[in-house]
A and B are shown apart, each in its own frame.
Chain A
Amino acid sequence: MSMMLLSGSLLLAHAMLTLAMACAAIRLLRGPRAEDRVLALDTLYVSAMLVLLTIGMRGGNAHFFDAALVIGTLGFVATAALAKFLLRGEVIE
């Protein structure tokens, strides 16, 4: 009973997060502004991080946590660099 509840809800969450990634990807492709695309990329990163966490929870494998942490870190650096580029036209001044 509890196993079914757990696996069902994790599957549902997984599907919803994948859908969220799809929405972000559509906004990433559609734009129209460059800022929109960067914002969509950030959303994509956060959703991907959560997807990795749910994968880890489905398999009972805590090692996906490290992958999620890396995605979170890289996502921040990438979005900040892109936003900085939009602001000044250079990443490092």
Chain B
Amino acid sequence: MTGVNDPGLAVALITAMLVVAGAALTLVGALGLLRLKTFYERVHAPTMGSTLGSGCVLLASIVLFSALESRPVLHEIAIGVFVTLTTPVTFMLLMRAAMQRDRIGGGDGRGETPNGDDG
């Protein structure tokens, strides 16, 4: 922590809470990626990190830098908007790929996969 001025207790408290909450949510999402059993269940877990998780960290960054530089620092919003708009695209493509590969592999693309989804 070099080169950082003291932002004050209130700002530090808000930043600390937001950043820890965001990181914890991302961690739980990644844990879900490990723990859940099938691919279709695992798709749900990382969204925690990419929505509320990154939202909290970005908000913390906005609060901290706005206080440090004594002016509104808002360019984190760009990342937030970008992530919100792009995540559906990748996840829809992935879901479609998985369902199509299930169909080709003999399943009906709707249920558990016939070939090895051991988690």
Instruction: Please report A residues at the B interface, Cβ cutoff 8 Å.
Output: 1-3, 5-10, 12-14, 16-17, 19-21, 23-24, 26-27, 32-36, 38-40, 42-43, 46-47, 49-50, 53-54, 56-62, 65, 68-69, 72-73, 76, 79-80, 83-84, 86-87
Interface of B is mostly: helix
Residues of A within 8 A of B23 (CB): 12-14, 16-17, 20, 50, 54
Residue in B34, B90, B94, B118 whose CB lies within 8 Å of A32 = B118
Cβ B30 vs Cβ A21 within 8 A: yes
Instruction: Please report B residues at the A interface, Cβ cutoff 8 Å.
Output: 1-9, 11-13, 15-17, 19-20, 22-24, 26-27, 29-31, 33-34, 39, 42-43, 46, 49-50, 53-54, 57-58, 60-61, 64-65, 68-69, 73, 75-76, 78-79, 82-83, 86, 89-90, 93-94, 96-98, 100-101, 113, 116-118
Known: A17-B27, A36-B42. A56 touches B61 (CB 8 A): yes
